[in-house]
Structure 1
């Protein structure tokens, strides 16, 4: 089997987090490993989400601290909770999808088809690696930022602070409990980043796979209609057309399985990512309006954090746009062929394919908002229109332009 490096990276990261849909060989030997996803969840819940939520009642009168609290952990953890829920609830469906993905690669025999699939897989791989690197860098910047703050507090003899803004009983500020909590929060932060990026990258890879399969199907339909030898034999034409119809229905199932599994996750992530960007713009706006200035590490974290969130939204919408164009292309494939050479009976069979393709496949957020480039533009405008300050609008514009440039770059490399 041809396994692209994108699938290898995604599979390893999701297996580590216990989210991979297929059963690993070690899980058959050691059944307790099936519940290993509870370990990263324990880090997220016990050392991050609950302590930070409790801390909200302490800083309730400070809007800046509340904003930092929500954007740093609480909102991202809620999104990751949803991803854990989706991966576990739809494990069987997603397992079938992964199995179909593997079977499609094994059935590739034509060189042109292989090149088409490899092109999409390479683009998905670059996007996936970039998303992993960006999320890990963002988490690392935050960890280093807090580590320097801890060192300063220790040197100055101040009260101990944790890696994240948290509320723990006083006993947890005593050695060795304090070091254990800080280490657990660092591990939890990287579990958060890996889970956040891993599920998204899996969706990107599957959508690129669907689009590549549609391109192959387009060529098959054109070749079938344009082949004089096939057209001369009505039974042979019907046989090849039946294969195309079955393949078309299979791709519709594949896309609908991905959409049904992740549409609620898309909704939650788009909503919370938009809120996160708005909160980050608020923090910058407050610092600029009060002429307080921002430390270099604060600026680095804000920039990477905003860009990461905008990129994830952008790639969701970009994948949705690709799927719409690829699925609607079946109609174009029929019209680009020598359809006028078909007999009336053959033409009626092709019309069924055109009829089935009149409604393109889509990725939606909660089944009511289509993910497309229009959605991305709306979310970007919504998050940057909260203020008319040029500095804030510039940050949103830079993030949007960077997302577009990254996609153009990956397409050019492919």
Structure 2
């Protein structure tokens, strides 16, 4: 039922299993929902829309609480942390569901053009695997975060002080259109429903970021392999190696270079709506979580730890993505330098006193590749911002500005009350 990519040795990161569980993984083209011969495909699509609906409903409950408590800056900022993250991943889930064919095509292109098998006789594949470790760290932090959100209210019920039957805690601050505390059955069902919606939010976040990082990492790996081929292009040039053979080799390098650039463009085209929402919301999230840590009074120790993990996971998630985007820019622009230093002028043949410059067609190919490589390959957020370390520092700077403003407003209000 699920789309089976053509290259069987291809193994996506384990985090991508959650995209299947959340209904976001593309189905095979032969699976036709709403047909009698594809019951599983139809059920899967219905499950995917249920996940989206459950996240949307939970966000609406949180938004109702947010609007009801706008006068309290502490409660508002605390609620914004979970609400904004829910909105971000609601957009992600909706985007993945509405672009299944593009997602399937992207996976297929990656399989044929970018994937570097572990059996390849180079160290690039091993380097790519090492770079993916950072996504495992990010995943661990986010997993700890959602576990704490789902478990801490239960700890408060069973091990904390006695709680009023009408004030039993939920994973997030919410207002319901019904009395969720009227009975234990209603409370438990509401708790499970909202908890699973939160799990879908967080797992979609780290799973989709991981697959984006996976694509970018191996695209950088292809640039590294390209650099190795360019560096060896004229290293074995000797009298018996004809110009036609050299020209054919460089044409293959040009074709591979264009293929990698085209894949990066398709990658940007698919992910840039999600990245735009991510970069816009991240600065607000970091600001508000930091505000909770600094100004929270009489906070339960578990909540304090929860917010520490929250800001750590938010920063790591943003840094890992921006660092991968920055690496793509570096590797793509490094191609121009490698081309210029590949001894295209024939200097390696001077020792044998048989120096002859490369022919004009080869020099033209190299010149065009150098010109093309001077324009960096980058992943953008709808052209508004580039995924790079410069963007990471800009977002942190914006978050600090928001935090300073929010903190001054908070203390001004406190002084007025005193």
How far did 1:201 drift?
0.6
1:143 aligns with 2:150: yes
Seen in structure 2, the aligned counterparts of structure 1 residues 163 and 317 have a Cα distance that, compared at 3 Å, is: closer
CA contact (8 A) 1:64 1:283 kept: yes
Q: Deviations over 1:307-358 (max 9, x none)?
A: 1111111112101110101111211221221111123332112111112112
3-state SS of 1:172 partner: coil
Partner of 1:332: 337
1:42 aligns with 2:53: yes
Q: Which of 160, 169, 172 in structure 2 is aligned with 1:164?
A: 172
CA contact (8 A) 2:171 2:195 kept: yes
1:376 aligns with 2:376: no
Partner of 1:216: 225
Where do residues 3-402 of structure 1 align in structure 2 (5 Å cutoff)?
3-4=10-11, 7-23=12-28, 30-32=40-42, 33-46=44-57, 48-72=58-82, 74-104=83-113, 111-113=120-122, 115-124=123-132, 126-151=133-158, 155-161=162-168, 162-175=170-183, 176-229=185-238, 232-287=241-296, 292-341=297-346, 342-386=358-402
How far did 1:134 drift?
1.1
Seen in structure 2, the aligned counterparts of structure 1 residues 212 and 231 have a Cα distance that, compared at 3 Å, is: farther
CA contact (8 A) 2:247 2:361 kept: no
Instruction: Name structure 2 gaps, 5 residues minimum.
Output: 1-7, 33-37, 347-357, 408-418
Q: Please tell me whether Structure 1 or Structure 2 has the larger radius of gyration of its CA atoms.
A: 2
Seen in structure 2, the aligned counterparts of structure 1 residues 239 and 136 have a Cα distance that, compared at 3 Å, is: same
How far did 1:35 drift?
3.5
How far did 1:120 drift?
0.6
CA distance in 2, matches of 1:14, 1:312: 17
Seen in structure 2, the aligned counterparts of structure 1 residues 388 and 171 have a Cα distance that, compared at 3 Å, is: closer
Q: How many residues align?
A: 381
Instruction: Name structure 1 gaps, 5 residues minimum.
Output: 392-414
RMSD of the TM alignment (CA)?
Answer: 2.8
Seen in structure 2, the aligned counterparts of structure 1 residues 302 and 136 have a Cα distance that, compared at 3 Å, is: same
Structure 2 length normalisation: TM-score?
0.83
Seen in structure 2, the aligned counterparts of structure 1 residues 146 and 110 have a Cα distance that, compared at 3 Å, is: closer
Partner of 2:349: none
CA distance in 1, matches of 2:270, 2:77: 31
* Higher percent of residues as helix: 1
